[in-house]
Amino acid sequence: MTSRGLYYFIRALVTLVAIPFHEAGHALAAWLLGDPTAKREGRLSLNPFRHFDLMGTLCMVLAGVGWAKPVSTDPRNFKNPKAGMALTALAGPVANLLLAYLAMVVWKLLYYWAPVTVGTVFAARFLQYLVMMDVSLAVFNLIPVPPLDGSRVLLAVLPQRIYFGIMKYERVILIVMLAVVWSGFLDGPLTLLNDAVWDLLDLGTGYIDQIAYSMYYASIGTVI
């Protein structure tokens, strides 16, 4: 397999993990907040086939920007509909950030202590891309533009008349957003935000680096 082929193969595998985690995060939050709609539809699952839209998945693998089947919610089931919708929306990006953190922990453990084999090198590359995709999904979805998750948070702060007036143009805004992203117009701001989140994750897993360095210097002292 060529390096380009391996790259897309790993991206496909990462997509099989990152997107279901994101969507299941929405479903879990909605269920915990009192809305069983997504659970009844089988979306409280990490099975990728319950979440994927074929075209959206291909766009995610090949172009880096895609979409999944929307998670259905019924605001009437929430005690506080505005807060329920906002928290359900935030749960997807939060799930991705949690997965990114766990992936970085395992990645560092492999880097410092696993023997170098074809399998561990492949696993390390997979984990690296998993962190990258999860961070990208979280950052991108928090943009407060419909139909992204960040727009659902606006419902908690905007008057309903204004919010639903904007949401009438959700599909048009989605097409414009995808065109803007694919044109590269947002590459600079998104890269800065992704790098900032990556640095925070690196800082949050810094205890692994400290343990590894301590063990290394202790071994040097023992040898000397």
Domain ranges of the chain: 3-223
**What's the pTM?**
0.89
Tokens standing for 162?
Answer: 């204004």
Contact 55/88 with Cβ under 8 angstroms?
A: no
- Average pLDDT on 109-137 reads 94
- Average pLDDT on 146-170 reads 78
Q: How confident is the model at residue 1 (pLDDT cuts 50, 70, 90)?
A: low
Q: CB-based contacts of 81: which residues, under 8 Å, 6+ apart?
A: 75
Q: Which long-range contacts (CB under 8 A, 24 or more apart) does 165-174 make?
A: 170/146, 171/147, 173/145, 173/146, 173/147, 174/146, 174/147
Instruction: Identify the pLDDT of residue 53.
Output: 82
Residue 60 has pLDDT above 80, yes or no: no
Instruction: Identify the pLDDT of residue 222.
Output: 57
Distance of CA 210 to the CA centre of its chain: 27
Q: Which residue has the tokens 């390096």?
A: 3
- Average pLDDT on 118-122 reads 94
Give CA–CA dist 96/197, Å, rounded: 12
Contact 66/54 with Cβ under 8 angstroms?
A: no
Instruction: Identify the pLDDT of residue 64.
Output: 66
Residue 217 has pLDDT above 90, yes or no: no
Among 116-120, 129-133, 168-172, 199-203, the range scoring the smallest mean pLDDT is 168-172
Residue 99 has pLDDT above 90, yes or no: yes
Q: Which residue has the tokens 């279901």?
A: 20
- Average pLDDT on 28-56 reads 92
Q: Which long-range contacts (CB under 8 A, 24 or more apart) does 6-9 make?
A: 6/125, 8/61, 8/62
Helix, strand, or coil (residue 127): helix
Higher-pLDDT residue of 164, 214: 214
Q: CB-based contacts of 91: which residues, under 8 Å, 6+ apart?
A: 25, 26, 28, 29, 30
Give CA–CA dist 137/134, Å, rounded: 5
Instruction: Identify the pLDDT of residue 169.
Output: 74
- Quick one: which of 143, 130, 189 has its CA closest to 11? 130
β-strand partners of 80: none
Residue 63 has pLDDT above 70, yes or no: no
- Average pLDDT on 116-132 reads 95
Among 67-71, 100-104, 159-163, the range scoring the smallest mean pLDDT is 159-163
Residue 224 has pLDDT above 50, yes or no: no
Among 5-9, 128-132, 164-168, 199-203, the range scoring the smallest mean pLDDT is 164-168
Residue 220 has pLDDT above 90, yes or no: no
Q: How confident is the model at residue 114 (pLDDT cuts 50, 70, 90)?
A: very high
